[in-house]
Amino acid sequence: MKKKRNMKKTLTILATAVMAFLLLTKPVLAAVRCETQYGGGEVCVRTGELQIDKEVWDPEDEKWLDNLGLGDYKFAPGESIKFKLKIKNVGDKTFGEVDVRDYLPDLVEHFSGDLEFEIKDLSPDETEVRELEVKVVSADRFPNDKSIICEVNTAEAWSDDEKDKDTAQVCFEKKVLGVSELPPTGLENWLIIIPFSLLAGLVGFYLRKFSN
């Protein structure tokens, strides 16, 4: 009987300790960032209390996107590219200082906006939005063996133990200046070409006959 009471007392103490641990331990907050990848599918990544989201401006559809792939708009040498950074506090405490850094790919050069900066006192549920602009390098700096190249632009944000990063893909095309499209080959053009070809043939025939 005494042994049974001791067992019950032990279980009570253990239950009390577990409840105290659950009540006193602060839960780890986390958020999920979902974005469309350059392959076409959507990928969701679990983040901590500090979150950064990087987007690129699509000049063709005139909207911000997570990535631009091979089937999307391609930037030419000398063209400008706009990026947007969104740094958000998804936790329940204020970050006294947040450091942000953007790492540019090889085929672009910085034009405007900050590549490195600090955010002071980022409150819970607050979002800091920054934009930067780059320019594609000249055509002579492109690899000779490739006409289309895709690169990834990475941005990071960190504060104490909290850190997050995100990427945005862009593609470049080394276009030939002065050649935008091939000549049309529709039926209307053949109707124009055929009479001129026949006329040229007759002129050549008579010139050859008279020369003989």
Is the per-residue pLDDT at 205 higher than 70? Answer: no
Q: Which domain holds residue 63?
A: 47-173
Residue with tokens 């050549």: 204
Phi first, then psi: what are they for 33, rounded to 5°? -110, 120
How far the first Cα of the chain sits from its last, in Å, is: 136
Q: What is the per-residue pLDDT across 27-53, written as a single tens digit (0 to 9) for each?
A: 444 566 666 655 556 667 667 899 999
Range of weakest confidence among 73-77, 150-154, 197-201: 197-201
> Residue 172 corresponds to which tokens in the numbers above?
């470049």
Instruction: Compare 9 and 156 and report the one with higher pLDDT.
Output: 156
Among 60-69, 70-79, 106-115, 182-191, which is the least confidently predicted range?
182-191
> What's the total number of domains in the chain?
1
Q: Considering the chain, what percentage of its residues have pLDDT values greater than 90? A: 57
Does 92 fall in a domain? Answer: yes
CA distance 151 to 185: 35
Tokens of 78: 């000398």
Q: Does residue 26 lie within any of the structural domains?
A: no
The pLDDT-based confidence of 175 (bands split at 50, 70, 90) is confident
> What torsion, rounded to 10 degrees, do the Cα atoms 136, 141, 143, 146 define?
40
| CATH number (domain holding residue 54) | 2.60.40.10
Separation of alpha carbons 146 and 149, rounded Å: 7
